[in-house]
Structure formats: C-alpha cells, structure tokens
Structure 1
Amino acid sequence: MTPGQLQTALTDAIHLARQVDLRQCEQEEAPRLLQESVPALRNAVLAGAQALGAVRAHYEEGEDPPGFVGDTRRQRIADLAFMARLDLGERLERLGAMTASEAPWNIIATCGSARRRLFKCAAAVERALCAHEGLTPRLEGLLTQELERSLKVRQAYVLFRRGLLTRAEPTAPWLAPVLRRAAVCFSELTGREIYEDLRIEDRTELRRLQAAVLDWLRGQDGHDAVSGRRLWQDIAVFAELLTQVNLRPELREHDQALLGSLLLSLELDPSLSAERLAELARPLLGVDDLLDDCIENPTAVERAEWRETLERLATGLLGEHGAVPPLEEEALAAPR
C-alpha cells in the first residue's frame, strides 16, 4: 500500500466508528446494544487495527547489515503503529467480553472509550505518517470537535435548567409566570445551533412539553391549577433527566481530567484564589448542583468545601469506570 492508501485506510476506520451514534443508544437495553452497537463498533476498531498493522508493515525496517543506520523517522512511525495496534487489541477484548448482565450505561461507556481510543490512535499515527510523507492530515481535531459539541450541549442544558427560575414546585399564583418562563426556555433551547446534537428522545420530549405548556397558557383547560402543577412536575423531571448528558464518554473523560487538575492545583498552590479556581472549573458547569454553586459564588465558598466537592466528584468518576490514561505520541513511541 502507498502512504496515501494507508492514510485512507485509517480514515475509513474512523468513518465506520463515527457511524455508530452512541447518543442514539442511550435508551437501549443491554441485549440490543450487544447485538447492534457493540458489533458495529468492534468492526470499526478491527478495521483500525488492521490499518495500523499495514502501516507498521510498510514502515518497519528489515534486517540491517552491521553498521547500517536506518531511517529513524520510518521506524518511529512503525513503533507508533505497533503500540497503537496493541492498544486497540485490548479494546477489542473488552468489547468482546461484555455480556447482557452489564448495565447499559457501562456498555455505552466502554464503547465510547473504545471509539475515542481509535480516534486517538489513528490520529497520532496519521500525524506522524503525514509529517514524514508530506501529506495533509485529515483526522486532527476530530476528538476536539466531538468534545466541544458535547460541552455546548451541556451548557445549553445548564442555561435551560437555570432559566426555569425555581427548582421547587410553584404555588398556584406562580404557575402562570413560571410556565410562561418555561415556554421561553423551551423556545430558546430549540433555537440554539446545538439543538440538532440533542438526543432524539430529549428533543421529542422537549417538543411535547413545549406544546403542552403553550396549550395551558392559552387556557385550553381553563388554566386549571391541578393540570398546571402536573405539567410543572413533568418539566422538572425532564430538566433532571437532562443531567444525563454528563454520562457521555467524552464528557466523562474531560471531567475526570479537569477534576484531577483542579485538585492538584489546590494542593500545589495555596495562594490559588477562589475566583481563579471558579474560572478554571467553569467547563464543569452542569456536572453537579453544589459545584455549580461554588463556580457561580466562589467567594462564598470555603477552600475546604471546594476540595470536598471536587474530591467527591472525582471519586465518583473513578469509582464507576476508572481512569483512562491519555494516549500521547510519546507513549505510543515507547520501545516495544
């Protein structure tokens, strides 16, 4: 295979992986995930592993005569491909070991981790290949784009939940104002550019509730207080369900890394101000109500409370799925 064909093989594997939309899988039960999503992703990861094997074979130096100095750049690409292929082999084993007894979210998290690992492996090897061959990389930025989209979705959900004005059920005199505000929040959310990145289930329920709120405000049932309170309860449940966006694998990895960084900063820098800490933690808005309060009112929170909140969240993430070490070119290039 030519270098261009090797690059195409890597990008084809990524294309297969991107066709597995894990957001559409979030309401599926374990058996269906194991029948459809997991095999589809395994095929993509397998294609990536095969492409990496081809890269290694192309750039691997053969037996050299004594005193011969080989092209270290070619060998480095071969080393990268070798380590990346080993990594994907481990991911394939994990995907193949899952059973119907697994919690659906654990399956989705494992799939998401494997897909992101494929992206990282392919991007690292493609970057080295392109630098050596003078080709234009195609895969750089894929992971960043995916994470940025999910961060924007979470931010949109934060603004929606915050815009509802109250987390408590409103009394009868406040039903109309609160539901009017909810109608505005629905309209703002559906009008955001990120709307199409919301889960289909969320969009469906959002539209249903939006129509119900407008019907109530128009007096379709005479502004009945009982139906109004029931409608508000449905909205409150929906707003709470939106926090499940935090279970997206790319957000879990991002949040885990940022929480660890914040805790390290607290430990190493006693002079770190609450305002600066809140600024650094702002991408975590929407992860946890207590953390949101810390971020929004940093000077009202003691340093010990900051640490306790961050440690609680970091422990929760580590306890459920464990840390996923970053895949850097330097790590891939380690001697085999």
Structure 2
Amino acid sequence: MSRPPQTTEPHGTDPAASGFQQRIVALVGETRRVDIRKHETLPTERVLVELLPQVLEKLHAGTALARDVLERFDGASDDAVGIDEPMRPEQTGEFYLGVDGLVFDGANHSRVADLAFIASTELWQKLRRVEALHEGMERWDVVGELGSGLRRVIKTFTALEHVLAEEEGLEPELGFESQLETSLEVRRQYTRLRRSIAGDGTPESEQALVARLRGIGTRIAMLIGREVYTELRIGDRIEIRKLQARILAWLRDPQVAVGHRLLQDLVGFGDLLAQVSRRQELVEHDHAALREALEASTGTLMPADQLIALQRLDGLDPELDALIATEERRAPRWRPVLERLLGQLGVGPGGASW
C-alpha cells in the first residue's frame, strides 16, 4: 500500500479543491446514513439483498472519487489500481493508525495525494471482498465485511477532507476523529456497561435481580444506539446481541436461578471488555498520561490540569477509577497507583521500555 516518495510543494488554493470537498462531504453523509445495526439480526439472504447494494454503491463512489482526487493532486491515478495484496483483518488497526499518521504529519505536503492513494487502493480491495460475499456465509461474517467497508469509506474520506481543507485553506465541514479518540470512546462505553453489570454487588432479592438485569439491558440498548457501536469488534457485538436477547427472554420469564447464571455470564463478559485497554493506541496514550502524571505528583497536591487529563484513563484500573471518581487531590495517594500501572504496562518509574 505504499507509493513512491513525493516532493510536492504546498498547493495553495486549488480551484478544484472546493468541488472535491463537497463531493467528499456528500459521500460521507450518505455513508453515515446507512444503518447497519438493523441488519445484524436479519438472515444472511436479507442482508445481501438490502444492505449489500448500498455498500457496493458507496465503495464504487469512494474509489472513483479517490482516483479523481489523486489524478488532480498527483497525476498518478493509474498507480492506484492493480495492487493485489489485500490487507488482512488483523492489520485493520494498522490501517487506521496509518491514516492518522498522515493526517497529523503537517510537514508532508503531499498528504492529499497520499491519502487519496490509500483510499483508492483500500476501497478497491474492499470492493473485491464485498463482491465475493454470498448466501452460504455466516450472517455476522457478511455484516462484518459490509460494516468494515462503510467504516473504510468514512475513515479515509473524513481524513482526506480534513487534510484537503487544511492544505487548501478551506473550512473543514466533517469532523475527523483519530483512532485514539475512537478507542477512548469505546473504553468509556465499555466501562459504563461494566459498572452497570457490577452494580452494588450480588442482588439479594428477586426484585433486585430484576432491576439489575433490566438496567443492564437498558445500558446495552443505549450502547447499540450510539455511533461508536459500529466501531466495536464483531466478536464483541455478537456477544452483546446474544446477551441482550437472553436478558429480554429472562425478563419475560424471570426465574431466579437462571437470572443469577445470566448475571454471572455478564460479569465474565464485562471482564473481557476490560481488555480494550490493550489496544496499541490506548497503551501508548495511557503510558504517556501516567508518566506525565507521575512526574507531576512530586508535590503535596496533584495539579488541576493533571486531574483533568487523568479522566481520560477512566476504565483502565479500578483503583485508579476510584481516585478519579472521588477527585482525590493528595499526590501521595496517586503515586503508588501510577507507579504500579506503569509497571504493569512494562514501563517502570525510571523510564519507558520502548
């Protein structure tokens, strides 16, 4: 997915830039309006009939638009096709982080062409995979591939619009969100769900059990309704949907023993959700934030700006979460927790291990 280094100088204001921006804004808006959630519970045949044509349309439009932008800003659109090595699923995070890296590389004045090249290449590869979907596949495999196609369109073109506006002196119209910000929001939502599951301990009565499971069901419904839901891993979404269905079934016939087993399964799932903090971008972010906070904790009180920054770590660790929740100011209460967490990340108080 690489292209030869370019020596492009800043373009200034290209007369075609505004037109490209409006095409990008329109495509991203249309793509965001495709609601994949309602297809997660449908049979594969209906998903292919109802959702597949919409995704194919967006991928075709995105590939054509990316090639137009590339031809205008680089004159090398022919190089954007014919790349035959599709990105493997485990490389998806690398793709998103690579896009982020280009967006924030202000010294690179060929960012528009570079992002257009990436978009044309990746969307073309994704188009080939989507065209290969068929009725014999599992529903979630189909939904996952189609959802991935929609996310690629949104990610690449929000990034491209951001850079195009910056390079060409235009007012950005789309909100670009880095992979770090997306992962932080996923962690926030998972933390809320985990706290809803944990509640205030084991329910002591049937009434308390009903209230707990109903509350968890409500929290799950709220998560599914949030924009970040489609950014969750397919495996997590599958389990969330299964648990939601079990909760709804149990509420229609609330048997106490069955309810407690269901709650135990939810607790186990909540523990798995905590592993979101192992994402590469979160590990790097958390390490930097912990290091900065530890260096600032040498006095009697934690600086106010550090307390605000530490709120972004909510959900990383129960002891840290408690300090954040109580707005603890005393630095000596923070230091051992910060040192322990740095050690768990493979980073001791003396310095980073990478």
TM range (shorter): 0.5 to 0.7
- Structure 1 unaligned segments of length 5 or more: list them: 26-111, 327-336
Say whether residues 1:317 and 2:322 are aligned partners.
Answer: no
Q: Is the 8 A contact 2:7 2:110 kept in 1?
A: no
Residues in 2 aligned to 1:249 and 1:143: alpha-carbon distance in whole angstroms: 20
**Residue of structure 2 in register with 1:250 after alignment:** 281
- Structure 2 unaligned segments of length 5 or more: list them: 1-5, 10-73, 113-166
Q: Is the 8 A contact 2:346 2:353 kept in 1?
A: no
Residues in 2 aligned to 1:116 and 1:324: alpha-carbon distance in whole angstroms: 23
CA displacement, residues 196-245 of structure 1 (integer Å, 9 cap, x when unaligned): 011101000000000000000011xxx22111110000111111111111
**Residue of structure 1 in register with 2:307 after alignment:** 278
Residues in 2 aligned to 1:7 and 1:282: alpha-carbon distance in whole angstroms: 46
Say whether residues 1:151 and 2:179 are aligned partners.
Answer: no
Say whether residues 1:233 and 2:264 are aligned partners.
Answer: yes
Q: Is the 8 A contact 2:210 2:251 kept in 1?
A: yes
CA distance 1:319–1:325, change in 2 (3 Å): closer
CA displacement, residues 139-196 of structure 1 (integer Å, 9 cap, x when unaligned): xx99961111111111111121223362633234221111111111111111111000
**Residue of structure 1 in register with 2:214 after alignment:** 180
Residues in 1 aligned to 2:239 and 2:273: alpha-carbon distance in whole angstroms: 11
Residues in 2 aligned to 1:16 and 1:304: alpha-carbon distance in whole angstroms: 56
SS in 2 for 1:287: coil
**Residue of structure 2 in register with 1:119 after alignment:** 101
Deviation at 1:3, TM superposition (A): 2.9
Where do 1:128-147 residues align within 5 Å? Answer: 145-147=178-180
Residues in 1 aligned to 2:322 and 2:287: alpha-carbon distance in whole angstroms: 19
Which range is displaced more, 15-24 or 183-192?
15-24
Could you say what the CA RMSD is over the residues aligned between the two structures, in angstroms?
4.4
- Tell me which of 197, 218, 222 is aligned to 2:231: 197
Deviation at 1:2, TM superposition (A): 6.5
CA distance 1:239–1:135, change in 2 (3 Å): same
Q: Is the 8 A contact 1:179 1:232 kept in 2?
A: yes
- Tell me which of 227, 239, 248 is aligned to 1:214: 248
TM-score, normalised with respect to structure 2? 0.52
Residues in 1 aligned to 2:251 and 2:91: alpha-carbon distance in whole angstroms: 33
Say whether residues 1:259 and 2:290 are aligned partners.
Answer: yes
Residues in 2 aligned to 1:290 and 1:202: alpha-carbon distance in whole angstroms: 25
Where do 1:33-48 residues align within 5 Å? Answer: none
Deviation at 1:280, TM superposition (A): 2.2
Residues in 2 aligned to 1:18 and 1:281: alpha-carbon distance in whole angstroms: 39
**Residue of structure 2 in register with 1:289 after alignment:** 318
| Residue identity (%) | 30
Q: Is the 8 A contact 1:246 1:252 kept in 2?
A: yes
Say whether residues 1:3 and 2:8 are aligned partners.
Answer: yes
Structure number with higher relative contact order (C-alpha < 8 Å, ≥ 6 residues apart): 1
Q: Is the 8 A contact 1:256 1:314 kept in 2?
A: yes
TM-score, normalised with respect to structure 1? 0.55
**Residue of structure 2 in register with 1:35 after alignment:** none
Q: Is the 8 A contact 1:119 1:143 kept in 2?
A: no
Deviation at 1:279, TM superposition (A): 1.8
| AA partner of residue 280 (structure 1) | A
CA distance 1:259–1:176, change in 2 (3 Å): same
CA distance 1:260–1:241, change in 2 (3 Å): same
Q: Is the 8 A contact 1:253 1:324 kept in 2?
A: no
Count matched residues.
224
Larger CA Rg, structure 1 vs 2: 1
